[in-house]
């Protein structure tokens, strides 16, 4: 409690990102982390998702990195911050996807990260232990235009609300690929139980900060490429996406304006297994047609 709170200073921040599967939570987390770290801010990604996306994206199929990743969250418990080093300002903490670990000791894990990094981005899903949402200073709800994914999100928020973790001032919204944005935010602000017998208001849609992220096909293809090469880079994104990412990164860590972003060369390169490559290439071809 008190010790953890003393670690949160104006230069330290813990932020959770959560959304239904396929709404692009990891896409948002990975790109925000890339932008923050490229501006010299020491950044950690803590992967608390069930499918552990970060394990695949950042270990590059290299045994040494895989071993580092497997141990990384475990070591945080004993005060050691040794994640997968992506660049000098970014480390990733994840674990093997299949493993059923109990990570409910959020305070210990986050305390170690705060002692070593300026900003901690937690990649969450609806099974992430509640403690992480409780400790996070902000919770970014990632919602796409696929309205069918909204019910699980509102049910999850209702659950947070019943445990007194949901506070209006902590919430922000990221709309991935937006069209009529206002109605979407109104939709997220209410939980309707499946039988429609009652409705619960979750937050005030008029007072919520949000950011729109356009998901244009060229960006999607470029992101798939970076997944294949295990190297997340902002090079080659369209201008509207870069502007949206800058806006979002500024919300996450407001000191961002003190430096301008300079793209890194992609010196980190290796490949996924060939069958993942061929699957991703098929997806790319589908989108390029």
Q: What percent of the chain shows pLDDT beyond 70?
A: 85
Average pLDDT, the chain: 84
Chain segment 201-259, per-residue pLDDT in tens: 999 988 999 998 887 888 888 888 888 777 888 888 999 999 999 999 999 998 644 44
Q: Using pLDDT thresholds of 50, 70 and 90, give the confidence band for residue 60.
A: confident
What pLDDT is recorded for position 259? 46
What pLDDT is recorded for position 14? 96
Does position 66 have pLDDT exceeding 50, yes or no? yes
- Residues 211/244, Cβ–Cβ less than 8 Å: yes
CA distances from 51 to 8, 26, 94, 144 (A): 29, 11, 10, 19
What pLDDT is recorded for position 220? 83
Who has greater pLDDT, 278 or 149? 149
- Cα dihedral 223, 226, 231, 237 in deg (nearest 10): -50
The sign of the dihedral angle between the CA atoms of 101, 280, 265, 233 is negative
- Count CA atoms within 13 Å of residue 169 on its CB side: 1
What pLDDT is recorded for position 196? 65
Q: What percent of the chain shows pLDDT beyond 90?
A: 47
Instruction: Report how far residue 1's alpha carbon sits from residue 107's, in angstroms, rounded to the nearest whole number.
Output: 8
Burial of 203 (0-12, 13-18, 19+ CB in 10 A): buried
Chain segment 95-109, per-residue pLDDT in tens: 988 777 889 899 999
What pLDDT is recorded for position 51? 87
- Residues 39/32, Cβ–Cβ less than 8 Å: no
What pLDDT is recorded for position 266? 40
Does position 146 have pLDDT exceeding 80, yes or no? no
Q: Using pLDDT thresholds of 50, 70 and 90, give the confidence band for residue 181.
A: low
What pLDDT is recorded for position 222? 87
Q: Using pLDDT thresholds of 50, 70 and 90, give the confidence band for residue 287.
A: low
Burial of 1 (0-12, 13-18, 19+ CB in 10 A): exposed
Query: pTM for the complete prediction?
Result: 0.83
Q: Using pLDDT thresholds of 50, 70 and 90, give the confidence band for residue 263.
A: very low
What pLDDT is recorded for position 177? 66
Query: Which of 230, 211, 215, 216 has the alpha carbon at shortest distance from 30?
Result: 230
Query: Which of 211, 178, 188, 265 has the alpha carbon at shortest distance from 32?
Result: 211
What pLDDT is recorded for position 223? 87
Query: Which of 113, 175, 112 has the alpha carbon at shortest distance from 145?
Result: 175
What pLDDT is recorded for position 221? 85
What pLDDT is recorded for position 232? 84
Reading phi first (left if > 0) and then psi (alpha if -120 to 50, else beta), residue 217 is in alpha
What pLDDT is recorded for position 261? 44
């Amino acid at each position: 409690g008190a010790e953890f709170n003393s670690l949160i200073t104006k230069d330290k921040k813990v932020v959770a990102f959560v959304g239904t599967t396929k709404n692009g939570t990891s896409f948002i987390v990975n790109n925000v982390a890339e932008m923050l770290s490229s501006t010299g801010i020491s950044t950690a990604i803590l992967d608390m998702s069930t499918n552990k996306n970060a394990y695949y994206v950042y270990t590059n199929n290299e045994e040494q990195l895989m071993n580092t990743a497997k141990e990384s969250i475990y070591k945080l418990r004993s005060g050691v911050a040794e994640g997968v080093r992506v660049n000098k300002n970014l480390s990733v903490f994840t674990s093997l996807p299949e493993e059923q670990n109990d990570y409910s000791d959020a305070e210990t894990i986050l305390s170690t990260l705060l002692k070593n990094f300026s900003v901690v981005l937690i990649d969450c899903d609806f099974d992430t232990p509640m403690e992480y949402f409780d400790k996070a200073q902000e919770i970014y709800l990632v919602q796409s235009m696929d309205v069918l994914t909204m019910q699980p999100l509102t049910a999850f928020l209702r659950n947070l609300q019943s445990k007194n973790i949901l506070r209006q001032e902590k919430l922000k919204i990221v709309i991935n690929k937006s069209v009529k944005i206002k109605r979407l935010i109104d939709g997220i602000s209410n939980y309707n139980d499946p039988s429609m017998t009652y409705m619960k208001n979750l937050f005030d849609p008029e007072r919520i900060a949000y950011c729109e992220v356009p998901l244009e096909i060229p960006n999607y293809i470029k992101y798939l490429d970076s997944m294949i090469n295990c190297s997340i880079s902002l090079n080659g994104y369209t201008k509207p996406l870069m502007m949206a990412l800058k806006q979002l990164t500024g919300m996450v860590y407001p000191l961002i304006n003190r430096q301008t972003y300079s793209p890194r060369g992609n010196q980190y390169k290796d490949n996924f297994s060939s069958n993942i490559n061929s699957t991703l290439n098929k997806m790319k071809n589908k989108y390029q047609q």
